[in-house]
Amino acid sequence: MEKIHVCIIGSGNLGTALGKILAENAAALSDFEERVNMFVYDELFDGIRLSDLINSHHINEKYLPQIQLPDNLVACTDLVETAKYADIIVFVMPKQFIEDFCKTLLGKIKPNAMAISVIKGFVLNEGDDNGGEVASGSGIQLISQTIMKYLKIPCAVLMGVNLASELTLNRYCEATLGCRDMKHSKLLKDLFSTPNFRVIVIDDADAVEVCGYLKHLIAFASGILDGLQTNENTKSACLRFALIEMLRFIDVFYPGCKLSTLFESCGIADVLTVCAGSRNRRLGEAFAKSDRSIEQLETSLMGGEQVLGPLTANAVYLMLQQKGLQERFPLFTIIHRICKREVKPEELLHCIATMPNIIYHPTQIFPL
Amino acid sequence: MEKIHVCIIGSGNLGTALGKILAENAAALSDFEERVNMFVYDELFDGIRLSDLINSHHINEKYLPQIQLPDNLVACTDLVETAKYADIIVFVMPKQFIEDFCKTLLGKIKPNAMAISVIKGFVLNEGDDNGGEVASGSGIQLISQTIMKYLKIPCAVLMGVNLASELTLNRYCEATLGCRDMKHSKLLKDLFSTPNFRVIVIDDADAVEVCGYLKHLIAFASGILDGLQTNENTKSACLRFALIEMLRFIDVFYPGCKLSTLFESCGIADVLTVCAGSRNRRLGEAFAKSDRSIEQLETSLMGGEQVLGPLTANAVYLMLQQKGLQERFPLFTIIHRICKREVKPEELLHCIATMPNIIYHPTQIFPL
């Protein structure tokens, strides 16, 4: 039987940490070709090409210093060369390049290859300008759906890998792999798992990815409460309402998903982890304590990088607005309005205290 | 129409804080008799009877100093005198006295009175010694069921009031009132609610109380993880598995309950609050960091008072053992064994990392 070729597109800290795992597992498992190509953006580090550094010293000095990488993880600066023999293409890169990368790869990869997206966030679909206030069809397009659309191959998603540092330090981590075809589940589980990195494969790929983007919004909300120095009861109430709105959001916009996915690692567990500590939580806290805009804080605190919580709140709001559902999602709606400084951060407290207490009974998703 | 009389049995910090709310609401609402009796154990404070101090200075110097109480909250050291005219009897006292108190009150109260239990914990039923390893029928008896059994009146439960200090500081708190007869729901909601204390009434009283006792076990587990200085991913995974076992436990032992109750304040929210900070969390942390027994730590850290987490783990284990279900509840089981020092606290990490990933599909409780 032919060996299965794996490649990874992206070499940031998470990409490199996953590349290490994939290469080590590919070397250890007989089903896989040992060599794992890793696409590295062609840039210089201390005057030397980063890809050359990785291939000679087997350390990614720029994005994951001090971690020894296996020799069979091979840096490659040509996207098509990286992926052309791959049966499994793992995408771990900033979301803004995904459409271009797919266009470059289309027709140059194996027709029966499969993709796995570990990309954070979503693609904002601008929609069609119909002269109304909101363009119809605007809102969130799932990254896995974007990959499938442009690359014409199936795409699974891996969510819940929230900290590259914990992966490389071999501290216990869990992730959920949402797979569109469960016949590959055993193979993919073996490819990603380590004794400290537990990968659970389920078939509810869309819900896995939706949990993955909504958590940023919730972590940002949690940060706002920290910035307001509120009490534990309020924070817990906020999380409870956030989980209920998450469930309702999936029910309205992603019918056919499963309630059980909320109890997977990508659901409740990942929400709790990012609320305990993440860039979104930190940005939310800083936002509540100052009068500055999101963009100003991203510049001063986040090295100018866009943080996903406010972006998600905005995109979610666009989707709710088109269906006139803002009132049924008071928490998601107020977070967006707070981000825009239309209302004060303190309004979140009022929203929580007056939240209609309706435990949502889903009608479009599978019950537990 | 006759005014509704309310009394409260217990005057610890939570009892006094709730007494203040009940008396203020009774004075403000026309349905209620203004005077609210509060049973106070006959003890001295600085050489003066505590009940006299409360009735003259309107401050409970021993259990809730610095908080001014309303004049219509009347301390009373005679249990029967406290309750004999009451239509609503609120119990907020240590669980070990509940059976004696009920026996004293039986036949001396209004036959159509109703009880509300805010008592923490449960009654351990010793069961019948049948010569086997575990007495059959041993395990947890709900306090509300105990009150109904001994006092022959219906008993609702109020859970999620986890911090008397937050109530008196007027910080936002939520609680769930599990009511056996929803015809009183509006009245009870009005009696307990304040602008910062939100009471949500549901009809699933048993599940509300079960969430109320299981949370102590989970908070203790969370403390163990803190003591082991584990990472956020592990703590989140533990909470996720704890919620799944909670759901499964209710399904097995309390058929007919509702999944939606897990999403109420008494469920997920209260679990998160006590995991963030509580006596159980602190005891768990200290336990993982030392070699001492639970009893020794209770003596040195908790003023000799029994903490509910280990007691709950023990009682839950007894119930699982009788049905031979330990393997289906690996988390609850390992917590009990850790409490007994049968295994090291580190075994909790192994348990989490090897937990079978089965999202439980309840068969005996109502779906969401």
Judge contact between A347 and A334, C-beta under 8 A.
yes
pLDDT for position A361: 82
Helix B308-323 vs helix B279-289: crossing angle, to nearest 10: 80
Q: Tens of pLDDT along chain B (368 residues)?
A: 799 999 999 999 999 999 999 999 999 999 999 999 999 999 999 999 999 999 999 999 999 998 999 999 999 999 999 999 999 999 999 999 999 999 999 999 999 999 999 999 999 987 766 666 666 678 899 999 999 999 999 999 999 876 777 888 888 999 999 999 999 999 999 999 999 999 999 999 999 999 999 999 999 999 999 999 999 999 999 999 999 999 999 999 999 999 999 999 999 999 999 999 999 999 999 999 999 999 999 999 999 999 999 999 999 999 999 999 999 999 999 999 999 999 999 999 999 999 988 887 888 888 88
Does A300 reside within a domain? yes
B142, burial (CB in 10 Å: exposed 0-12, middle 13-18, buried 19+): buried
Which tens digit of pLDDT belongs to each residue from A244-274?
999 999 999 999 999 999 999 999 999 999 9
Does A246 reside within a domain? yes
Structural domains counted in chain A: 2
Mean of all residue pLDDT scores within chain A: 94
pLDDT for position A101: 97
Mutate to test the interface with B, among A171, A232, A263, A264 (most CBs of B within 10 A): A232
Domain boundary among B203, B225, B244: B203
Shared domain check, A252 and A123: no
**Which of B237, B269, B362 comes nearest A174 by C-beta?**
B237
Closest CA to A292 of A222, A229, A345: A345
Q: Residues of chain A with pLDDT > 90: what percent?
A: 87
What contacts A97, CB < 8 A, 6 or more positions away? none
Q: How far apart are CA B86 and CA B114, in angstroms?
A: 9
Shared domain check, A149 and A234: no
**Which of B162, B231, B367 comes nearest A367 by C-beta?**
B367
Does A15 reside within a domain? yes
Judge contact between A201 and A188, C-beta under 8 A.
yes
A279 is in an annotated binding site: yes
Does A365 reside within a domain? no
Question: Is B183 among the residues known to form the active site?
Answer: no
Q: Please, where are the H alpha helices in B143-231?
A: 143-151, 164-168, 185-192, 205-227
Shared domain check, B264 and B134: no
Shared domain check, B264 and B347: yes
Domain boundary among A188, A203, A218: A203
Shared domain check, A177 and A218: no
Shared domain check, B214 and B135: no
pLDDT for position A167: 83
Does B360 reside within a domain? no
Shared domain check, B87 and B219: no
For residue B195, how many C-alpha atoms fall within 13 Å in the half-sphere facing its CB?
A: 4
A284 is in an annotated binding site: no
Shared domain check, B143 and B94: yes
Domain boundary among A170, A187, A203: A203
With a CB-CB cutoff of 8 Å, which residues 344-363 of chain B face chain A?
Answer: 349, 352-353, 357, 359-362
Whether the pLDDT of residue A151 is over 80: the answer is: yes
For position A50, which CATH number holds?
3.40.50.720
Which tens digit of pLDDT belongs to each residue from A195-206?
999 999 999 999
For tokens 């069979």, name the residue. Answer: A72
Range of B263's domain? 208-354
Shared domain check, B199 and B230: no
Shared domain check, A231 and A195: no
- What is the pTM (predicted TM-score) of this model? 0.94
* Residue A15 distance to chain B (closest CA, Å): 19
- Tokens for A77, please give them: 């600066």
Does B190 reside within a domain? yes
Does B328 reside within a domain? yes
Does B212 reside within a domain? yes
Question: In this complex, is the C-beta atom of B185 within 8 Å of any C-beta atom belonging to chain A?
Answer: no
Which tens digit of pLDDT belongs to each residue from A94-132?
999 999 999 999 999 999 999 999 999 999 987 766 666
CA distances from A91 to A18, A184, A322 (A): 10, 17, 31
Average the pLDDT over A44-65 and give the result.
Answer: 95
Shared domain check, A81 and A141: yes
Whether the pLDDT of residue A158 is over 80: the answer is: yes
Ramachandran angles phi, psi of B109, nearest 5°:
-110, 170
For position A239, which CATH number holds?
1.10.1040.10
Shared domain check, A189 and A64: yes
pLDDT for position B134: 63
Which tens digit of pLDDT belongs to each residue from A304-354?
999 999 999 999 999 999 999 999 999 999 999 999 999 999 999 999 999
